[in-house]
Structure formats: C-alpha cells, structure tokens
Chains A and B, each alone.
Chain A
Amino acid sequence: MSRTLLLPPHHYLNDGFGVRSWLLTRDHKRIGLLYLAAVTFFFFVGGAFAVLIRLELTTPAGDMVTDETYNKLFTMHGVMMVFFFLIPAIPSVLGNFLIPIMIGAKDLAFPKLNLASWYIYILGALFTLYALIAGGVDTGWTFYAPFSTVSSTTNVIPTAVGIFITGFSSILTGLNFIVTVHQMRAPGMTWFRLPLFVWAIYATSLIMVLGTPVLAITILLVAAERLFHFGFFDPTLGGDPVLFQHLFWFYSHPAVYIMVLPAMGVISELVAAFCRKQVFGYKFVAFASLGIAVLGFLVWGHHMFVAGQSVYAALIFSLLSFLVAIPSAVKVFNWTATMYKGSVSWSTPMLYAIGFIGLFTIGGFTGLFLAAIGLDVHVTDTYFIVAHFHYIMVGGTIMGYLGGLHYWWPKISGRMYNEALAKISAAIIFVGFNLTFFPQFVVGYLGMPRRYHAYPPEFQVLNVLSSAGASILGVGYLIPMVYLIWSLRYGRLAGSNPWGAVGLEWSTSSPPPTQNFEETPIVTWDAYEYPTPVEGRVV
C-alpha cells in the first residue's frame, strides 16, 4: 500500500461534530459506534465480576467474599455478559455498521428506529446498573422460580425491568435487519450473491424477532408473581415452577444462537478474505444458518433433562439437539475446505478465525456430550456446563467479534492498528482462554457443581489453573483496547481496501461517506469472486 494515502475529505466521522450530532444521528455507522462504546463498557464490567469470581475460587473456602456477594457476582456477570454484551455485540456493532454497505444500500430500512433501539438498550442498561448499585441480584442470570419470585430478597424487579426493556432493543434491531435485507438490496444483489455475514445476521434476526418476545412475557409473569403474588410459578399459589423453565428456555436456548450465528457469519467473511477464495459450499453455509435458527427453537428441553419432564419429552429434545449440531459441523468443514488451495494470510483477523474454528469445534463436541441424556444427567449443573458454554461464547463469539473488529477496523476508522501487538494479544487470549476453561471440563466431570462459592479441597488445583488462565485472559483483552484506541489518532492510514478483499464494503472509502457510496452500486458478481490467479492483482 502506498504511504501517501489520504483520508477521504468527507466521511461519516467528520460529517458533523459535537455530542448532538452523535446522540441524534440516524447514520447506521455512527449508531454502530454508539453500541460499540456501550457493549465495551459492559464487557469490562462483566469481566471485572469474572475476575472477582475466579479470585474467590482459588481457595476452597469461601473466604474472600460472603455467600450472598458471591451469588450476586455470578448473577451480574451472567446478566451483563449475556444481555448487554453477547447478544447485542456483533449484530448491533458490526451488523449495524456493515449490513447496509454490504448490500449496497444507503442505510437500514428504519434509521430512526435504529437510533431508538440504542436508546432503549441504554434505558434497560440503566435499570440494570441501578439494580447493581442498589445491592445487586442473586438469582443467577436464569432467575429460576420460585426462588426469584418468592425467596430472593434482592433487586429482582429492577433487573427484570432492565432486561425486559433491553429485549425490545433486540427485537427492533432484528426487525430492522429483516426488512432491510428484504427490501434494500442494490440492483443485482440477489439473495445468493449476499455475503454470508448478511445471511448469518438475517438468520439471527429471525431468532431475535421470534424468541425475545417470549422472554419478555416470562419476565412479566415473574414480576407479576413477585409484586402482586399472582400465582404462575409458585406451588403454594397453585403454580408450576417447571413451567417457568419451559418459558425461560424457549427463548434462552435460541438466544445462544443469537450469540453465535453472527460470529459464524464473521468467520465466513474472514476465511474468504484471508484465503482470497470463495467460501466452499456457499449455499450450504447459507442454509446452515437458517437451519440452525429453525432447529434452535426446538431443543429447549435439553436444559431440563433432570428437571422432571417426561422421559419421552426428554428423548425428543435429545434427538433434536443432535440434529442442530449438524449444520454447525457442516460450516466448520466448509471453512476448513475453503483454506485448501487458498492464499492464506496470517494476519490477526485470520488468527482469530482459526482460533474460533478450533475452540468452537471443542465447544460444539462437548455439546454432543450434553445432548446424550444419560451423560447429561451426571454433568448438568456442574462446571462441565460452564466450560461448554464458555468455549462457545468466549472461544467462539468473542473470538469472532474480535476478529471482525480487527478486520473491519480500517473501514470503520480509516486506520490500521499495530499488527505485532495484535498478534501477540490474539496469542495471549488463546492461551489464557484454554487455561481458564479446559480444567473446568475436568473438575465438572469430577462433580464440582456450578455456582458454588466454596468447594471440597480436592478440586483446588484445577480451580487454581483456571484462575491463572483467567488472569492471562484478562490481560489479553486489555491490550487491544490500548492499541485500537491509539490507532485512531496515530495508526497508519488504511486506504479503501487494505486487505485486498472483495465485498462492497471494500469498494468504498475508508472511512465511508455518510451515504455509504458515491453512486449506488450495480452488482453483477457473486460473493467472494476473487480474480483468477492468471488475472493477477486484486487491487
């Protein structure tokens, strides 16, 4: 790349200055950055709780914090990470920024609704922060009844209200994406020419729109029971506590696909770009996203194998849980095959993509352990589960998020980050992550239950390893904050296509103009259509 690159004279970042131009923006790119600030804040707050948890667990006795405090720590860690980081991160940051550009549109279908979604998220976040400051919540992020509706003496209602409100941010974002992808594609951008990231976000949006309302109603019923003693889940009032679990997991299982599908979409983009090659089996990967979304709604009972549902219900959920694993496996195979005879770059985003594939594979396999009911009975509610979902959420989603952030950073900011530091952090994160969570599989099978403040001494060594890993992981996450922010001012200019990738986002300037394109593109090529080697240069 030439060193005499200049920033474009007019782009979305210098189109208006001052707080009002940001807080009242309708530009999907600025809104994506508003979300970036918000989710980063919650990531570090949730992360701070994780640090405290792991510190406490270095010793078998509950000696660092009281029982009650510990219960609040893991609850708030879960609530913040799930609802305020993992669910919005990729869709609301990267999705908001990229979807219109990737389809050749000027903005999302409903820009004002997009801004409103951010404010709704912030409002929900404020309620939850209030609950935190007022003393926290101790129900676990799953707030099972009747403990949450009858027994807990902590700030259940403010937290519930916060999550309820933020849920609408999710619903409206999903609605916006669905209408945008249907209605706003540029001429020639047919469905099967869409980047796979768009397919993934579209599938995710279907889940957001169909699943989140059920969580909303569940929260409403919990609040009604707690405030007005309406008996829905409390057996002393004639209610059924297991009904809560059905309603809760009906959303919360698809929710995990809201968290991982966008990351898979990012990986498709990264693998294609950093192998300069079409994604192997494009249509299979696209349909796999839809398949995961549909099947994901049919498996919620696998969280309840020991909760007292009937044997036959358990069998059906087990069978379907195995089926939902297949499309994920298909994607992993397709990404691997894409690398064959690719032109493989070892840039940081590709390192994150490779890390994702490895860690998601392990997390996904341990999902098979859990779908096998006879085995799940032993490992459910232990650290085996904790390890499983962290492999997917952290080893999967967060790696995908960071990979995407690095890949599109030059497009978002116009500048490149320090590659050496970035590679080092990726390595630190990978090592720290595995050291944190692999021992948890072992200690879980040994029988250490989750949400335990104190534990039998024979589990200590594995816990110490895990906590050591956590400290490394924490450092790994802090370093990118530093160099990414540094690059905003001092990073070398990137130019419109620093990676030599194909995709509409790389055909416009870095940073893009407010209306995304100088002229509406007319698409006549497939996604990931790299020139043949004979044709030579990409850029």
Chain B
Amino acid sequence: MWSGTPLFPESASTMAPRVDALYLFLVALSAFFSLLIAGLIVYYAVKFRRRSPDSVGARIHGGLVLEITWTVIPFLITMVIFVWGASVFFAMSRPPDETLNIYVVGKQWMWKFQHLDGQREINELHVPVGRAVKLIMTSEDVIHDLFVPAFRIKADVVPGRYTHIWFEPTKAGRYHLFCAEYCGTRHSGMTGQVVVMEEDDYQTWLSGGVQEGSLAAAGEKLFNDLACNTCHRSDAQGRGPMLQNLFGSTQVLHDGSKAVVDEAFLRESILTPARRITAGFQPVMPAFQGIVSEEGLLELIEYVKSLKTQSQGPDIRPQTGGPQPGEATPARRPETR
C-alpha cells in the first residue's frame, strides 16, 4: 500500500525545480520557527508550572526592544519570500518568444486541445520534451482551471476571454491534468493526461492520425463559408479592412483609441464588431455572437494569423481616409484583462 504512495510530486518542467526550491525553503523555515515556538511554550509550561494554588506570575509589562526585534525580523524574512515568490511568478507569466502554441477549450466536463496543424485531442495533450509550449485557453461555459501538478502550473480558463499559460517539459512521461476550479457535477471527472514525448516520437505522433488539415486551413474554409470574404477583400468592393499582416499590428479605432491586434482583439471583432471598428470604416459588420463557436473562433484567428504578405507594414486600404502605412503606431489600449 505504501509503495504506491508518493509524498512529493514528479518534477517534469523547467519551472518545477524553482517552485520546489521555494517550497522546501518555506518548509524548513516554518518547521524551524514552529518548533522553536512550540518548544518554548512547552518549556515554559513545565518550568513555570504553578506550584501552589495562590501563586502569581512575575510583574513584567513588556519590552520595546523585543517587540521591535520580532517585528522587524519577520518583516525582513517575509520580504525575502515575497521577492523570491515574485521572481518565480514573473518567469511563469512571461513565455519565451518562441513557443509551440496549442489552443485549449474547456467545457463541462472535458478538455479540447487543438494543435495548429489540425490535430485535435480530447482530455489528452501530446507535447514534445524540451520545447516551450504555450496554451491559449478559453471556456465555453463556466470557469475551469487547467492544472498540471508535475509542471507546477495552473491557470483559470474563463468564458468570454483568453488566458494563457506556458511550460517547457523536461522529462518524457504521462502526467496528470486536472480541472482545478469547481465547475459543476463532473468537476472531478474533468481530468486527463499530458503525454510528453521525445521530439522524434512527437513528430511521429503528429504525422500519424487522421489529417484534418491545419487549424488555419479550417479557418480559411470557415471564413469563406461565413462570407467574410465578401467584405474583407482587396478590391474596390471590399468594405472591411484587409487582413494581411493584421495580426500583431497596432490599429487606430474609430474613437481615436489604439489597440494591438491580438487573439482577444480578433475574437471581439468577430463577436461584437461595433466595439472594434477601425478608423475610417463604417460600422456595418454584422455581429457573429452565437453564430461562431469557440473552436470556430480559434480557426478563424489562426487563419488571420497566417495571412502574411511580403510587404512590411500593415496593408489596409480603406475606401475613405484612415491610417496610412508608415503612420506612427499609437499606444496600446488595455483590453486583455
């Protein structure tokens, strides 16, 4: 019975040793001070045990030096822990520039993973060792949370927005994946596995299986099916901004504010375009809220991301006025919360 009982989780990502180091330091610190205090209490309780029923304690009010000491020293210690914890957190919050992106949609009560090349997985996520992986996540219904104990990472998956998380696996193997935000009846069933494979095995796995076409290709199909191409086109008939090189650029909106075109921007532009009209364009785009599913949105976003031409700047040619290529890119309007 005992042999199957681990007392410490496996360490399978680059972050795990950093988190464990902080944890073990805190365990040692806590154990030291707890034992110190417990020891003192027991010692005093014994040494100064009441000998006769009428005896009283000594007349001691307090001591300023002691008070200051045991306020300042804990303060300094907690500040050390704060800085340490913050530095680990910064590393967790900033994915490296080059990441393997995978989209995640959580819904009651399953996880749907979509690789860019079209591989879809349910409740199982295959990733390669030694490469930074970024998960871009949303929920279809209520708040969930993607948690991989072996990687020491966790993030809420929220309906109505995208959250992201990154990790770099260091060891091949199968690791638990849990939903860690209570989400209803089968919350404890919303589990899965992360399957970390050596790079070669991963490539083999990628090329096997039913090829459905990449996410971007699916997005292109959806783009045409939904008739987006009737307005977003490059000729005089086009009433919408052209989408080449749009992703990652900064746009001026009709109210004068500026926004960086990221996944959240595109999502909102499709669902409720009235909020995201680019300067110089009429607010005629219909809202696709309720018409496009979360997966459809991801496909469309990947398609827009894939639209790159050889030219340098944004290539939008509105019919009436608007920002010209080369115009100074304005500051970003905070959007992703």
Contact = CB atoms under 8 A, between A and B. Distances in A.
- Asked if the two chains touch in their complex, CB atoms less than 8 Å apart, one says yes
Interface of A: 62, 67-68, 71, 138-140, 144, 146-147, 150-152, 235-236, 240-242, 275-278, 280-284, 305-311, 314-315, 318-319, 322-323, 325-326, 329-330, 332-334, 336-337, 339-346, 354, 357-358, 361-362, 365-366, 368-369, 371-378, 380-382, 442, 445-447, 449-458, 460-462, 500, 530-533, 536-539
A368 B81 contact: yes
B238 interface: no
Contacts of B59: 277-278, 530, 532
Given A151-B141, A361-B34, A336 B8 contact: no
Given A341-B57, A447-B176, A358 B34 contact: yes
Interface string B52-64: 0111111111110
Contact of B86 (A354, A373, A378): A373
A537 B88 contact: no
Contact of B9 (A374, A446, A457): A446
Interface string B69-85: 01100110011011011
Contacts of B337: 240, 242, 308-310
Contact of B48 (A144, A283, A341, A365): A341
18 contacts: A71-B184, A71-B185, A139-B182, A140-B182, A241-B160, A318-B89, A325-B74, A336-B41, A339-B48, A358-B38, A371-B78, A372-B88, A374-B19, A375-B19, A377-B152, A377-B154, A446-B9, A538-B54
B183 interface: yes
A35 B173 CA distance: 56
Dominant secondary structure at the B interface: mixed
Interface stretch (B142-150, B213-221, B229-237, B250-258): B142-150
Contacts, number: 311
B89 A373 contact: yes
A343 B66 contact: no
Interface of B: 1-2, 4-9, 18-19, 22-23, 26, 29-30, 33-34, 37-38, 40-41, 44-45, 48-51, 53-63, 66-67, 70-71, 74-75, 78-79, 81-82, 84-93, 108, 141-143, 145, 147, 149-150, 152-156, 158-161, 163, 176, 178-189, 337
B156 A306 contact: yes
Contacts of B74: 325-326, 329-330
Nearest to A314: B89
Among A280, A343, A453, residue most surrounded by chain B Cβ atoms (within 10 Å): A343
A452 B109 CA distance: 13
Contacts of A530: 56-57, 59
A275 B60 contact: no
Nearest to A66: B185
A458 B89 contact: no
Given A340-B44, A447-B176, 4 more contacts: A276-B57, A322-B79, A374-B86, A445-B23
